Structure 1
Amino acid sequence: MTTNNGTYIEVEPGIELYVQDVGTGDPVVFIPGFTFTTDVFSEQVQHFSQTHRTIVIDPRSHGRSTMTVHGNDYVTHGTDLQKVLTALNVDNATLVGWSFGCLTVWEYVRQFGTNHIKSLVLIDMPPKSLSLQQDVDWVEGNLDDLAAAYTNYLRNSKGQRDFISAYATGVMVQRDLKEEELTWIVDQSLKTPYYIAANLFSSGLFSDYREEATSSSESLPTLYIVAEHWAERATNYLAKLTPKASVKVLGGHFMFWEHSQKFNEIVTKFLEENK
């Protein structure tokens, strides 16, 4: 089904994903992170659709896609991505994942390989979220802090709101947010109910895609864009795990929104170098 603003693609009976598909040329597919939506990539859609077929997806239980208690994990999200690409006749695409959206990309690689992918852009996400060597490895955070986020915050809507608000101001951006900007960011997340957000959070934290990160970077041009706050650790970690990948450092976790022009320039150069 098509609307004035986008397309709905049924990935299984009763479950539709909302997709924006704009522009012509080599396809670039953007996948948002944990509980976020197509709207976060508005500056990228405007920029890249001038030269590329630009596709942005609301994963299941995100944004305008169907809310469902089934399949809120990154194994299913990887399968959903393949179904969307097939329905849209997309081949040889550059996949751009942000945060937990990177897990969707790596899960796609795990299930379907890399034959139909041209290149990868992975925004600020380690391929394994947790580690007993949390002081050495590039991970999502301290084990106790992440456990507290799950048990203390993602148990009701207020907790989810407080969690995203703190994350937005402390990690996502580097400047003071205007009240309306913070409200918009939090409202993005709250489109996903807290009980689904909790499932996605635990699925993401217990994922391990180190093998897919290594293998895909061996066969495909791969670019990581990591935030400044953990740049040294991330860069050192990736140099060992994915030595053939390129790594750029920019802003905070939401750098493509806060520093959209610079981000778009980095990705444009990468796409041009790997036509």
Structure 2
Amino acid sequence: MRHLLVLLVFGLAALQPAAAVEPWEMLPPTPHPVATQRAGQAAVNGIKIYYRVYGQVPQQGGTPVILLHGGLANADYWGHQVEALAPHHMVVVMDSRGHGRSTRDARAYGYDLMADDVVALMDELKIAKADIVGWSDGGIIGLDLALRHKDRVGKVFAFAANSVTSGVKDGVEKNPTFAAFIERAGHEYRSNSATPNAYEDFVAQISKMWAEQPNWSDAQLQSITSPVWIVDGDHDEAIKREHTEYLAATIPHAGLLILPNTSHFAFLQDPELFNAAMLRFLDGK
């Protein structure tokens, strides 16, 4: 994959000689949904959550893994990770409330509420405990679960997460790669959502959450007992490096991993590297 990425970068540079494209500036396509016979809409916590299930819990007692996507996105973004995990894990992907194919109700967006959605889906699927792999908002939800639902969470692989609003860089939406993601997310929302014409309202509502949350204290972070890795790309457009390092230093026994030549979208830009780190954390491999 790295050789392919180099070739792609070289090819783009040849087409655009005045401005070479670095690996962390690329936004590879959203993966196609990985086929499964276990998919549906779960009526839980006052909404309908779209989910897909892959693989099965190993007989040796392996823990299921739930993949939680970032804000504005949907479960399809995890396609490369599903393929890496499914041979040896039960894997669940879900569209967060109001995202993708999931619905929402009149309650304001909040990380506690979305963490409760995850627990409600776990109850519906009869999953007592799961490891969490989360990207951005999904990483924040993973940490929220570790704070408020300790008995339901095993390990938490939190990629590109923040614990206070000041951990996010000002003007991130103006970064070309991030702006391209926001535009893509709008097209995907209109294709997937039961309310396809409500994207602007959706963005406004979730932006209000981003302006106010999360807002966790040192003491709250220090109360986390789950094994945690704090992970980010070395060119993240959104999260300040010093904040990533702060999270790893504050959460007890947390690991810190910075993935080279990647950004907020490392799982797309270098899925082999991302997956190797993810599997090392989850399986010790």
Match of 1:150 in 2: none
User: CA separation in 2, counterparts of 1:244 and 1:125?
Assistant: 17
By how many angstroms is 1:67 displaced? Answer: 4.3
What is the number of equivalent residue pairs in this alignment? 232
1:180-233 deviations in Å (ceiling 9; x for gaps)? x997555235557221222212213322134443322xx221111112126752
User: CA separation in 2, counterparts of 1:36 and 1:51?
Assistant: 26
1:227 is matched with which residue: 223, 227, 233? Answer: 233
Displaced runs of 4+ in structure 1, greater than 6 A? Answer: none
By how many angstroms is 1:239 displaced? Answer: 4.5
Match of 1:10 in 2: 43
Verify the 8 A CA contact 1:228 1:252 in the aligned structure 2. yes
Verify the 8 A CA contact 2:140 2:158 in the aligned structure 1. no
Aligned partner of residue 256 in structure 1, secondary structure: helix
By how many angstroms is 1:93 displaced? Answer: 1.1
Match of 1:247 in 2: 256
Match of 2:70 in 1: 33
Match of 1:193 in 2: 199
Match of 1:65 in 2: 102
Deviates more, 1:233-242 or 1:21-30: 233-242
Q: 1:70 to 1:121 in 2, by over 3 A?
A: same
User: CA separation in 2, counterparts of 1:189 and 1:37?
Assistant: 8
1:118 is matched with which residue: 129, 147, 154? Answer: 154
| 2:269 equivalent to 1:263 | no
| 2:172 equivalent to 1:140 | no
By how many angstroms is 1:129 displaced? Answer: 1.7
TM-score by length of 2: 0.72
Aligned partner of residue 235 in structure 2, secondary structure: helix
User: CA separation in 1, counterparts of 2:182 and 2:141?
Assistant: 26
By how many angstroms is 1:115 displaced? Answer: 1.8
1:79-107 deviations in Å (ceiling 9; x for gaps)? 11110111111123111121012232233
By how many angstroms is 1:69 displaced? Answer: 3.9
1:147-166 deviations in Å (ceiling 9; x for gaps)? xxxxxxxxxxxxxxxx5xx5
Verify the 8 A CA contact 1:18 1:65 in the aligned structure 2. yes
By how many angstroms is 1:56 displaced? Answer: 0.7
Deviates more, 1:254-263 or 1:237-246: 237-246
Q: 1:189 to 1:246 in 2, by over 3 A?
A: farther
TM-score by length of 1: 0.74
1:209 is matched with which residue: 213, 216, 219? Answer: 216
Q: 1:213 to 1:201 in 2, by over 3 A?
A: farther
Q: 1:116 to 1:4 in 2, by over 3 A?
A: closer
Q: 1:126 to 1:212 in 2, by over 3 A?
A: same
Q: Structure 2: state its 5+ residue gaps.
A: 1-35, 58-62
The code of the aligned residue for 1:268 comes to L
User: CA separation in 1, counterparts of 2:230 and 2:248?
Assistant: 11
Q: 1:129 to 1:7 in 2, by over 3 A?
A: same
